[in-house]
Chain A
Amino acid sequence: MKVTLLTGRTLRQGQGKEYGKLSERYLKSVAVCEMDPDDMKRLGIRENENVKIATNYGSVVVKAVKSLRAPHPSAVFVPYGPWISLVMSSKTHGTGMPSLKGVTAEVNPAPTEPVLSLPELLKRHFKKE
């Protein structure tokens, strides 16, 4: 399904960060995708099931959760963090600032793909000799 991807800060992400970025709590607070419940129905996804978010620049698997801020049809919200950064463009249009809000993306169920832990994620996507 085509969606508009918004990212931002959340209270939970802010608190999760204080428990350490390698903690489970941080992962649970940012590797999520807040969706409109109607959109979830349409896609046949239930709470805490995996979805794949894909843009022209990459894709990542996170857990879908019901948005408490609905209705916002075909808009999804993901907190800042290493997961969502993987699908962002580094183009800044001469401003120094990449576009992190209002990005066009595709969200689909990904029942067979896991949400990677942080070390796995870094290993999979970035090389370090």
Chain B
Amino acid sequence: MPIISNVTCPVCGSLCDDIEILVENNKVVKVKNACGLGESKFLNYNGHRLRKPLIRKNGELVEASIKEAIRRSAEILADAAYPILYGWSNTSCEAIRVGLELAEEIGGVIDNTSTVCHGPSVLSIQDVGYSTCTLGQIRHRADLVIYWGSNPWSAHPRHIERYTAFTQGRFQASIWYRYLAHLSAYRARRRLLRALKLSSVREAPTIEAEAGLPPTLFRKERKMIVVDVRRTRTADIADYFLQVEPNKDYEVLEALRALIRDEEIDMDTVAGVPVETLEELADVMIGCKFGVLFFGVGLTMSMGKLRNIDTAICMVRDLNRYTKFIIMPMRGHFNVTGSNVVSTWQTGYPYAVDFSHGYPRYNPGETSVVDILARGESDASLIVASDPVAHFPKAAVENLVRNPVIVIDPEPTPTTLMADVVFPSSFVGIETEGTAYRMDHVPLPLKKIVEPPSGCLSDMEILQRILAEVRKIKRETAEVA
């Protein structure tokens, strides 16, 4: 029974690469080291598959040969005046490269899912830059870890354990041991109290009930702060949780920025947070040796969008005058970073690239898919490993499904149900190898651990064949003309 080790997990942007997998008869039977999300994917990915290409005929999706499906897709794309090619965050860089070539060939728009997650972060970085690093720097050096508008416990379950607060670094000890010690001391005390039948004695007030910040935040070792609009699971394990009112992140960030610059604020509270608390928080940030601010879509998707990120980045930039401070977006899909990276080296732009003029154009808000769809401008689409029908706003979906839709996906989704051509593909990172980029832009190899079901090609191969067929059609048309 082969155990395959050092497997990179193709689920979230943390891209843990220490997974061990036991394979029996071309089937994953056991997964070690992975989180709930990773394990669930490795064990269940094959339970619900597309196995045959489908083409819509008379309103119904019916099975077709791969050749037929390739031809039909190429015809749709070659005919289209302004097609969109969307998805790309759950596939390999190798497939994305072909996708970009195809987009250029047909003069379409290629956009990836960052357009609806960290697109605003990209726009902010283009405005002001950012100070960042790879995750290992944080592991070795950070004594202050802040998660703002992100919930790694649910979305990146091993992030804290592998890269930040609970990891052991060269210059920073883990707080995990302290956390465990704290927990067992607490349990021991409870047991003791029960034994003495003193369980009616009131427990110590929780940290949050006290005024000001907990004293633990002023110790030298690593500490963790969570800022969010609701008390997430991540908040439960933090040293301190700061709750802000929805859509008020901008105010809090600006206030902190002002305080870091030693300015005074003539208010008692900002977004529901006492200014004194913010003053102390600013001191903690200035006083650390190496701080890091992770931010999630909680900042990019709420009011202010890129302006929230602008001000967060500027705050971190200001902090670098006093100490070392880093900021990093928490990227969702396992290769959303890779889709930005590949698009940037080929076209200069990370997403929303429009080839309709024969060269790359970029203007998010105009060339981004949600806007194109909302305006009803596209006349065909190719969706790779993504599910816009489930996640785009209604008006955009209406215009998407009104025109021909080609979908490449290993499994049925709301989008495949609404498609005109469907290709069953193999799972990248399980049945196909490739390259992906971690959220900190570290490239990692994805492994092939089992054979794909027969008839399921890789995304890259399907795209190559569509591209070849499109070129053939173009040549044929040129000859006729």
Contact = CB atoms under 8 A, between A and B. Distances in A.
Interface of A: 4, 6-11, 14-15, 18-23, 57-58, 69, 72, 75, 77, 80-82, 85-102, 118-119, 122, 125-129
Main secondary structure of the interface of B (DSSP, over half): helix
Contacts of B356: none
A55 to B, nearest CB: 10
B301 A128 contact: no
Contact of B413 (A21, A93, A127, A128): A21
Contacts of A95: 119-120, 123, 305-306, 364-365, 368
B418 interface: yes
Given A18-B40, A99-B302, A126-B398, 6 more contacts: A18-B41, A94-B365, A95-B364, A98-B396, A122-B418, A129-B59
Contacts of B387: 21
A10 B332 CA distance: 12
- Which 8 pairs between the two chains have the least Cβ-Cβ distance? A96-B368, A20-B48, A94-B365, A96-B364, A88-B393, A90-B393, A82-B390, A90-B374
Interface in B34-73: 36-37, 40-41, 44-45, 47-48, 56, 59
Nearest to A79: B154
25 contacts: A8-B155, A9-B154, A9-B332, A11-B37, A14-B36, A14-B40, A14-B154, A18-B40, A19-B40, A20-B411, A22-B412, A57-B393, A72-B231, A82-B390, A85-B390, A87-B394, A94-B364, A94-B366, A96-B369, A97-B115, A98-B116, A99-B302, A125-B398, A126-B398, A128-B56
A108 B210 CA distance: 36
Interface string B381-407: 000000101111111111001100000
Nearest to B35: A11
A75 B229 contact: yes
Main secondary structure of the interface of A (DSSP, over half): loop
B303 A102 contact: yes
Contact of B151 (A9, A19, A57): A9
Nearest to A94: B365
Nearest to B388: A85
B246 interface: yes
B414 interface: yes
A123 to B, nearest CB: 9
Interface string B209-253: 000000000000000000001111100000000000011000000
B298 interface: yes
B47 A19 contact: yes
Contacts of B412: 20-22
B299 to A, nearest CB: 9
Interface of B: 11, 36-37, 40-41, 44-45, 47-48, 56, 59, 111, 115-116, 119-120, 123, 151, 153-155, 157, 229-233, 246-247, 297-298, 300-303, 305-306, 332, 351-352, 364-366, 368-371, 373-374, 387, 389-398, 401-402, 411-414, 417-418
A118 B368 CA distance: 27
Contacts of A101: 229, 246-247, 297-298, 301-302
A97 B389 contact: no
A86 B390 CA distance: 9
A97 B230 contact: no
Contacts of A94: 364-366
A95 to B, nearest CB: 5
A22 to B, nearest CB: 6
B393 A89 contact: yes
Contacts of B56: 128
Given A96-B115, A96-B370, A99-B301, A80 B155 contact: no
A41 to B, nearest CB: 19
B405 to A, nearest CB: 9
B373 A90 contact: yes
Contacts of A93: 305, 365
A122 B368 contact: no
B63 to A, nearest CB: 18
A100 B390 CA distance: 13
Contacts of B413: 21-22
Given A101-B297, A102-B247, A69 B231 contact: yes
A101 B123 CA distance: 19
B12 to A, nearest CB: 8
B395 A90 contact: yes
B229 A6 contact: yes
B365 A92 contact: yes
Contacts of B418: 122, 126, 128
A115 to B, nearest CB: 15
A58 to B, nearest CB: 5
A61 to B, nearest CB: 15
Contacts of B398: 125-126
B230 A6 contact: yes
B394 to A, nearest CB: 5
